[in-house]
Amino acid sequence: MNTTIKILNLITECKNGNRLAHRQLYNMYKVKMFTLCMRYMSCKQDAEDMLQEGWVKVFRELHSYDTKKGTFYGWIRRIFVNTNLEFLRKKRLKFDDLNDQSPDRSLAYEMDVFAQMGLQEVVNLLQSLPNGYRSVFNLYVIEGYTHREIGEILKISPNTSKTQLMKAKQLMQSKVKILQAV
């Protein structure tokens, strides 16, 4: 059976109250969504909380999923990103507001370093970043948002987003150098 058809059938069954379908849908996406949560949160316990909160929202809002507006994976991912960002906002996510400064473009940031690292090492590195840096890094590098879009989502200026990204990259680069030296 085609994966898309299987997912649509599971969604229909979930809407009809089938608990087994809920479990199957959860099992299909739990690892990807937990990995997403781990990227945004600074500890495993918060990521686990966000995973649970995200699934509650997914199942509560399942009736609103519209196949014409995109894939189920895209829809569910958006819910999880928003859930994580809401949590961080409640914790009073802090950003260095350096609107008057432009990012230092001379910093050479090599993504090749991350290609040589294992997934857990990258997640650990992301978790070690301050919340603001981590959020902007995730939204820009991993989720693919523009600085203007990030500014709207996080209610910061695009320049603040650029500065947060630059600082996140600098901090990650310095931590990678330390790891490589060990």
67 and 135 housed in the same domain: no
- Report d(CA 32, CA 35) in Å as an integer: 5
Whether residue 77 contacts residue 40, with contact meaning beta carbons closer than 8 Å, is answered with no
**Mean predicted lDDT score pLDDT of the chain:** 85
- Report d(CA 67, CA 44) in Å as an integer: 32
Residue 150 lies in a domain: yes
- The pLDDT of 108-134, averaged and rounded, is 70
Is the pLDDT confidence value at 45 over 90?
yes
Is the pLDDT confidence value at 110 over 90?
no
Whether residue 87 contacts residue 22, with contact meaning beta carbons closer than 8 Å, is answered with no
Residue 102 pLDDT level (bands cut at 50, 70, 90)? very low
Whether residue 110 contacts residue 16, with contact meaning beta carbons closer than 8 Å, is answered with no
Of 75-79, 122-126, 149-153, the least confident: 122-126
61 and 138 housed in the same domain: no
- Report d(CA 6, CA 12) in Å as an integer: 10
This prediction has a pTM of: 0.74
Q: What is the residue range of 46's domain?
A: 3-90
Residue 103 lies in a domain: no
Question: Quick one: pLDDT at residue 116?
Answer: 56
Residue 96 lies in a domain: no
Instruction: Report how many domains make up the chain.
Output: 2
Question: Quick one: pLDDT at residue 95?
Answer: 59
